[in-house]
Each structure stands twice: as C-alpha cells, then as structure tokens.
C-alpha cells in the first residue's frame, strides 16, 4: 500500500507523513494517526481548508515524533487493542497559539481497527483596558486623570487585577463572547470609599482569533452628595 509516507529515521515505529493529509481510514490495523492543525473556524474539528501545524512534538509511551508540513504523524507498532495516551509538548507550539483541548488525549484501538486524535490550535487573543478616576464624569480617560490600582476585572470565569497605573490585560484568550465586569467591591477594598461607576459596569465583547481588543475602560468617580434644601 502506498500512502505517501516517509519512515522516521530514528524510530521504525513512527511514521511521518510527507504527502497529503490522511484520514484514519487510510491506515492499516494497529495504527494511530495524530493531527495538529490551525483551527481557523474554531469548531474543534479539522476542515478541508485548514492547515496542519509543522514542528509540534507528540509522544506516545516512550516514543516522540514531530509533525511535518501536514501537521500529522503516525504511531505504528501493530498496537494491540487498548487505550493509549498521546501527549502534545506545548513548548513546541508557536507562542501565539493555544491548544483548545487537553494536552493529553486518550484514544482507543479496537481489536481490528485504528484510531485518530486531533489537537486543534487557535491564535490567542487579548483584552486590554484601564480603570480610572473619571474626575469630569465624561466616561473617558483624560490627561491627568489617575488610574486605579488593585481593581478586579472579570471576563467570564477569568479575572485579573489592575497594575499601579490602572491598566489591566487578559492574555491567551480564545475567540468567543466575553462579559467583562468591574468588581466594585475591589474598588472599596483598594481605598476608594463611596465611589460609583461613570461608565457601563458590565460590557459584552466578542473576540476574533488573534485579535487585540484595546481601550475597554471603566471609569469611577466620588459619589456626589445630594444637597438638601430646607
């Protein structure tokens, strides 16, 4: 059978694919096909127009292989039926990518079959902004207005804390929808007693792969006292 494969020079039980990307139905019995790819549509499954990721190290038992231009490797040893763990070395993935599944994946080979496993990667995104003292209550950070340190910002299940200048950042985010919220309790804890928001306190944003969303800002100001007239 000619599958367009090249034999790995250091381990006869690992095959690197040098031709077109293969499917598990192209393999003989007892093989595991592992694929690492850029998941551009974010659905977790490789599509026809998505590309494999070269140079990513995968491991099974005591054997390691590196993906070629197709993003694939084949582990073969006429493996007996059972469950096997394939692990991805995240240190070999380009820093701008995130693996969207656990780095260790279990696959099951039946008594007369093969198995396949996929590791989808996405470009990471960022959300950045500022928490500031909105002295003139216009909702914008103007020159001379002070940042608020130690304020807590939530983004879905994640949180971060503002730095000394009031800036915050969420890094390594996946594409999708996020609800950002300023924790007003943290404002009080930071020493800003009796302050209130001057901007929307909760914001819904959408992130695309590789996007850097900037200026998601939150303003606060001293609560204005009501004047009572007698």
Over residues 185-222, the pLDDT tens digits come to 999 998 899 999 999 999 999 999 999 999 999 999 99
How far is it, in rounded angstroms, from Cα 32 to Cα 75? 5
Under CATH, to which class is 5-123 assigned? mainly beta
How far is it, in rounded angstroms, from Cα 122 to Cα 85? 22
**Mean of pLDDT over the chain:** 86
- Who has greater pLDDT, 19 or 195? 195
User: Using one digit for the tens of pLDDT, what is the confidence trace for 27-80?
Assistant: 556 688 899 999 999 999 999 899 999 999 999 888 899 998 999 998 876 677
Sorting pLDDT into bands at 50, 70 and 90, what band is 109?
Answer: confident
CB distance 73 to 16 below 8 Å: yes
pTM over 0.85: no
Domain boundaries, the chain: 5-123, 125-222
For residue 202, the cross-strand partners are 181
- Structural fold of domain 125-222: Immunoglobulin-like (2.60.40)
For residue 98, the cross-strand partners are 122
Give phi and psi for 107, each to the nearest 5: -130, 150
Taking residues 19-25, what's their average pLDDT?
49
Taking residues 154-174, what's their average pLDDT?
97
Sequence-distant (6+) residues with CB within 8 A of 127 are 155, 169, 170, 173, 178, 180, 205, 207, 213, 216
Q: Do domains 5-123 and 125-222 have the same CATH topology?
A: yes
| Measured distance between the N- and C-terminal CA atoms of the chain, rounded to whole angstroms | 97
């Amino acid at each position: 059978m000619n599958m367009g494969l090249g034999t790995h020079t250091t381990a006869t039980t690992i095959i690197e694919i040098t031709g077109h990307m293969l499917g598990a139905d192209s393999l003989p019995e007892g093989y595991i096909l592992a694929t690492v790819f850029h998941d551009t549509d974010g659905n977790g499954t490789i599509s026809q127009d998505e590309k494999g990721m070269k140079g990513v190290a995968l491991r099974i038992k005591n054997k390691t292989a590196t993906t070629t231009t197709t993003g694939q490797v084949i582990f073969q040893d006429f493996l007996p039926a059972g469950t096997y763990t394939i692990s991805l070395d995240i240190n070999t993935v380009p820093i701008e990518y995130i693996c969207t599944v656990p780095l260790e994946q279990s696959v099951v080979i039946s008594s007369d079959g093969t198995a396949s496993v996929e590791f989808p990667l996405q470009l990471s995104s960022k959300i950045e902004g500022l928490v500031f003292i909105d002295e003139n209550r216009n909702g914008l950070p103007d020159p001379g207005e002070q940042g608020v340190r130690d304020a807590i910002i939530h983004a879905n299940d994640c949180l971060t804390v503002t730095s000394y200048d009031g800036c915050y950042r969420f890094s390594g985010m996946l594409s999708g929808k996020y609800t950002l919220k300023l924790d007003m309790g943290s404002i009080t804890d930071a020493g800003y007693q009796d302050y209130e928001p001057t901007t929307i306190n909760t914001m819904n944003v959408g992130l695309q792969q590789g996007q850097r969303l900037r200026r998601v800002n939150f303003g606060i100001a001293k609560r204005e006292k009501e004047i009572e007239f007698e």
